[in-house]
Structure formats: structure tokens, C-alpha cells
Homo-oligomer: A and B are copies of this chain.
Amino acid sequence: MAESFGARLVARVREVGPLCVGIDPSADVLRSWGRDDDAVGLEFAALQLLEASLGVAAAIKPQVAYFERFGAAGYRVLERLFDEARSAELFIVADAKRGDIGTTNDGYAEAWLRDGSPLAADALTVSPYLGLGAMGGLLTQAAATGRGLFVVVSSSNPEGRPVQTARLETGERVEDGLLRQLAEANEGFDLLGPYGAVVGATRQHSGFDFENVRGPFLVPGVGAQGATPSDVGRLFARCVKGSVLVPVSRAITQAGPERRGLHDAARRYRDDLVDALLK
């Protein structure tokens, strides 16, 4: 079996830092960058953000929705972006929030986690409303290929909190029940397993300690959404150093479209994140 995604990520983050550049080429971004709202504009924006990430980010996190807007043409751009990221040895976290029943999840596993797939990423975000228990095919495929999953557990947006904090029959919150399931799935892997959680940086506390998940964390909310690198450092202080990946998107993108400005903005976040999370 391949080295787990969690272990691979720790090595990468300790080397490059916890920054993950969010690649969110929305209609608004294309407009503000003076580009046409089409697949050509999309490709320009995506590749500018990729180039700005080189040397300062451990990973990129393309938001698949903004590619999907253009159908097959958008997916062609996404494939090109993935090719470039692989060549540049940037991890790819495909932010697709996929999730369905079992046999369908096998299809998503083949799309995003299979060696040789045009959309093969290092990790995929998944949404658990149909149950983590239905994701066996995704879990197996991730472990077999050294890839990972980030299960959306506690979001940074307020509208998701009622469901995430609802009480299971056991009395546990939905979000804590998911962390417990992830911890169980990560048993038997050295250091960190492949199964991580998306936890908003604005989250204050947990009934299930993050360090006991023994998996990686993807922690949005830093930058335009108001949280700071220090907030993230405090929240995950007891986790393995290097296990937290922090996506920053708007706060970097607004420095564009010039590559130099984007790169400088990314480097500032990288430096602050290294100070807050790795020292």
C-alpha cells in the first residue's frame, strides 16, 4: 500500500508551509481581472493562480464549480491545470464536495482518485449528507493510491451549522460523530491516515478532539472570511505539525491579475501561516 496521504501531506507542509492557494475563477474574478467570461478567461485565471503558487504553496485547491460552469470545455481547462500542477509538484485538492450512495461514490472514486484518470487529484473534498458509511469505495481507493479525502465536517458558513450541530441518537453532534468515524477509519495508518476533515477556522470548540482524528485538516476561513493564521494555530495546536492545510483564495486573488502581485500576496500568507502553525 502507498504511503498515506496524511503522511505525504505532513512532509510537504513541513517543507513548503501550510498554504493552499484556492483557485476560484468565478465570473466576478474574471470580470475584475478584465477577462472574458469564457473558457479562455478561465484558463488564464487558473494558470495565473497556479504560477503564483509555485514555491510558496503546498497545494492548490481548484473550486470545481467554477470550471463546471463551462461544461466539457471547463473540464478541459481543469485537466490542463491538473497536468501543470502535477509537473510543478503542487498537491491538488479537488474541491468538488462530491457525495452520493455507495455505487455512485465508486464512480467519483474512479474520477478523482484513480491513477491515470485525467482528473486524478491528491485529495478530494466530499460532503457527507448521505453518510460516510456509503463512501467505502472512496476510502478504499484513496488508501490504495496514496490519495486522501477531506470530509466536510464543520463549515465556515453559518447556514450549515444547524445540520452540523444536530444531535445524533447517541447524543453526539453530527460533526463530532463524523470526526469519530474518521478517527476509526484512520486506525492502522502510521503517523496520519488519508481521511481528513474540513473544519472552518471560525469553529470554536469540539466535543471530539481534533488531534484524535489522526488525519489531515483543511481549514477555510482565513483572509476574506475574517479568521487569522493565529486562530488556526490555536485551534489545532495539539495536532501533528504539518497536518493542517489552510486554503486562502479571495485575499490572494484580489491582488491580481498580475502574477507578481499574486505571488507576493501568497508569500505573505505563507510566511504568516508558517509562523503561526509550524513554529
**Interface size class for chain A?**
35 or more
Q: How far is the CA of A74 from the CA of B72 in the complex (A)?
A: 8
Contacts of A207 in B (CB 8 A): none
Which residue from B71, B106, B111 sits with its C-beta under 8 Å from A119? B71
| Residue interface mask A205-217, B partner, CB < 8 A = 1 | 0000000000000
Minimum distance in angstroms from A181 CB to a CB of chain B: 10
Q: How far is the CA of A107 from the CA of B159 in the complex (A)?
A: 18
* Complex contact A68–B108 (CB within 8 A): yes
Interface residues of A in 161-211 (CB under 8 A from B): 161-169, 174, 177
Minimum distance in angstroms from A272 CB to a CB of chain B: 23
| Residue interface mask A152-166, B partner, CB < 8 A = 1 | 100111111111111
* Complex contact A101–B65 (CB within 8 A): no
Which residue from B24, B72, B174 sits with its C-beta under 8 Å from A79? B72
Which residue from B71, B131, B163 sits with its C-beta under 8 Å from A117? B71
Q: Which of A9-17, A49-57, A92-100, A237-245 is near enough to bind chain B?
A: A92-100
Q: Which of A122-130, A226-234, A254-262, A263-271 is near enough to bind chain B?
A: A122-130
* Complex contact B174–A163 (CB within 8 A): yes
A68/B111 contact (C-beta < 8 A), A155-B101, A166-B174, A168-B162 known? yes
Contacts of A130 in B (CB 8 A): 97, 127, 152, 155, 157, 159-160
A-B CB contact pairs (8 Å), 6 listed: A68-B108, A101-B159, A131-B155, A134-B159, A162-B168, A167-B167
A: residues with CB less than 8 A from B are: 24, 26-28, 63, 65-66, 68-76, 78-79, 97-108, 110-111, 117-119, 127-134, 152, 155-169, 174, 177
Top 3 closest pairs, chain A to chain B, by CB: A131-B159, A65-B107, A133-B159
